[in-house]
Structure 1
Amino acid sequence: MRNQEPPLLPERWSGAYVSYWSPMQEDDQLTSGFCWFDYGRNICRIDGLFNPWSEEKTGYRLWMSEIGDAARGRTFKRKVAYAREREADGVRLHDALLDDELGPFAELFLPRDLLTRHETEAVEPAVVLGVEAEGWRCARPGKGPITLYFQAGTDRLLRMVTESERGRVSVRDFPNLQTGPIGEEVFQLGG
């Protein structure tokens, strides 16, 4: 049964994600990572290859782990650069730990009440990751519209589609989202 109102995201959730652009361009990458959101503690963590990131322009792929602690108003980022180097027997990857970054952080990347705090409309039901899904699109001030797809009749997020000003969309799929407690150690990267 379809939700009559857009759902809140679960109080605590985590899961792997797959990130890509649509339509894909020649140098676009399919990337993946893992994220944790604990709205009760107002904190999140996202680990994965950064997307978009131009290996051609920078000379490396960027892996990043970011803990966004809105309760304390700060973010912590750990980054690793992976550069390809041609050698006689093929291409080798070389890693380099980049400087950690600290900075201000006002709000979680994906607020729990995103769909209820902005003007939101239902979109046509779809099949997402092989599951019947219902979608909700909302306009965000100063940002492109975002559409969240949930397993029909639930708050289980399956896909997030963010529209850009260039006519392309950023897609993040969540094939194995889990709800429930998240250990404190998940949010202790870098002290």
Structure 2
Amino acid sequence: MANQGPTYGLSKSIQSKIEKKYEPELEERLVEWIVAQCGSEVGRPEAGRVGFQVWLKDGTVLSHLINSLYSEDQKPLKKIQTSDKAFKQMEQVSQFLIAAEKYGVNKTDIFQTVDLWEAKDLAGVQRTLMALGSIAVTKNDGHYHGDLQWFHKKAQENKREFTEEQLRQGQNIIGLQMGSNQGASQAEMGGYGNIRQIISMKKT
């Protein structure tokens, strides 16, 4: 694996399971979307996980991708620089991840920089890009380019607004699951723990 030393024992087993989560068909879809979104200037990777990793590793393609989802005057990443220095590449990837979270990708769907840069979890990279595409389709703000069928729309929150008067009225309603307050009485109830007295009426 590129940029990664050999793994042994348990760590090798875990890495093998992570690698099996990587989906070649999903890779093809994501490449098609990124090219449609950014234009042919971002090029295309060699097929396969290694080619996909090398294509995205320096952060420039990812930076162009997130910028393409905004209008010209609102692009989140003002500087996109190609560099052969590791720390510059990792910094660019980190800037993409911050921008992706601000765009709406859940923190739990965000990969770590080393997941891409050291090819530790390329399936996680796919997950982040899928989440990004789904949000772009859902927003429907004119900045998404590509086939709408490539991503599922995210479920949108259905917020309901109530007036203060409606909220006050709701406080006076007793839910049916709580039973009824009609006919309830504490008559003939003693103190807590006392036995309730039963009075029998004798006929005279």
TM-score by length of 2: 0.22
Structure number with greater Rg is 2
- Higher share in helix: 2
- Higher share in strand: 1
TM-score by length of 1: 0.23
Taking CA–CA contacts closer than 8 Å with sequence separation of 6 or more, which of the two structures ends up with the larger relative contact order?
1
